[in-house]
Amino acid sequence: MKKYIILIPVYNDWRSVFRLIENIDSHINNETIDIVIVNDASTESFDNNQKQFSKINSVKIINLIKNGGHRKAIATGLKYCQENLDYDYIIPMDGDGEDRPEELKDFFNQVQEIQPEVITATRVKRSEGFLFKFLYSIHKIFTHLITGKLIKFGNYTCLSKNAVSKLLSDGSVWLSYSGSITKHFPQFSTIQSTRGNRYFGPSKMSIFALILHSLRISTVFRENIFIRVVIVILFFGLLSYYSSLYFLIPSLAGWVFLFFIICLALDDNIKKLNNCLNNIKSLSNIYSR
């Protein structure tokens, strides 16, 4: 019997997280499931009444000192689990309901059948409005063009113990979770996933956050980007020399873009990743069978 950890980052969305855990409890059968919540320095408290679940084995919370965002919370959770817990697979999962517990069985089935290192949940249907869907499509196309990688998944994945070790071998997972998986695993198994509706409140992904998300993924592959963007800069530089100075505008934009990539690349830092457990304030065991 495989042992699974479901890793859930949360910031001030406790109602959603505990609704999610209840739904997970109702959608699993004989699997051994431990829940690890990474509390990303939430400023709101949660109902500390004793929780009861029928199938989940345990629920613990890693309380962080400083907020770093979902990607760093997941990386910290992976690091903690690798060094302190016993498991066969880890499933990072957003805590707002958009990653559907109904699809966990698809992960479990693939593990039972072929035991892959990595399984990703490929989005085949999204629940957001038209504008966000359009912008998200632009993000995927841009990332594909600039990096040569088509990335159609987010945090909702299933990682073997060996896969976790590979992800933690360099700092790219500190920069971008999905980018790091694509970097380390050119081939992986997939399941089809429908983006669920949030349990409470609107989506917290703003357009600005989506742009940063896209740039961070791209930065993981900055060597590819550098070559492609420099070729574009040289092309428009030649056009400006032989044709019109107006072509200096896209050439200058290319240099600005590279500057942003260099700045974001500072987060691809193995030292920060290795020291991330220093950001843990406390551990809370809130349920155990």
pLDDT in tens, 231-270: 999 999 899 888 888 888 989 999 999 999 999 999 999 9
* pLDDT bracket for residue 186 (50, 70, 90): confident
Residue 9 has pLDDT above 80, yes or no: yes
Amino acid sitting at position 180 = S
Tell me, what DSSP letter sits at residue 155? S
* pLDDT bracket for residue 47 (50, 70, 90): confident
Average of pLDDT values for 68-82?
A: 96
Average of pLDDT values for 161-178?
A: 95
Q: Which residues of 58-73 are buried (b: 16+ CB within 10 A; e: fewer)?
A: bbbbbbbeeebebbbb
Q: How far apart are CA 247 and CA 102, in angstroms?
A: 52
Q: What region, left, alpha or beta, does residue 229 occupy, with left being phi > 0 and alpha being psi -120 to 50 degrees?
A: alpha
Which CATH entry fits the domain spanning 3-133+150-204+269-288: 3.10.20.90, 3.90.550.10, 3.10.20.520, 2.40.30.10?
3.90.550.10
Q: Where are the alpha helices (DSSP H) in the chain?
A: 14-27, 70-84, 104-114, 130-147, 161-167, 172-175, 177-184, 207-220, 222-242, 248-264, 270-274
Q: How distant is the alpha carbon of residue 36 from its chain centre?
A: 15
Average of pLDDT values for 39-46?
A: 92
Is the pTM higher than 0.85? The answer reads yes
Q: What is the pLDDT of residue 125?
A: 61
Indicate the range of 37-41, 50-54, 102-106, 227-231 predicted with least confidence.
Answer: 50-54
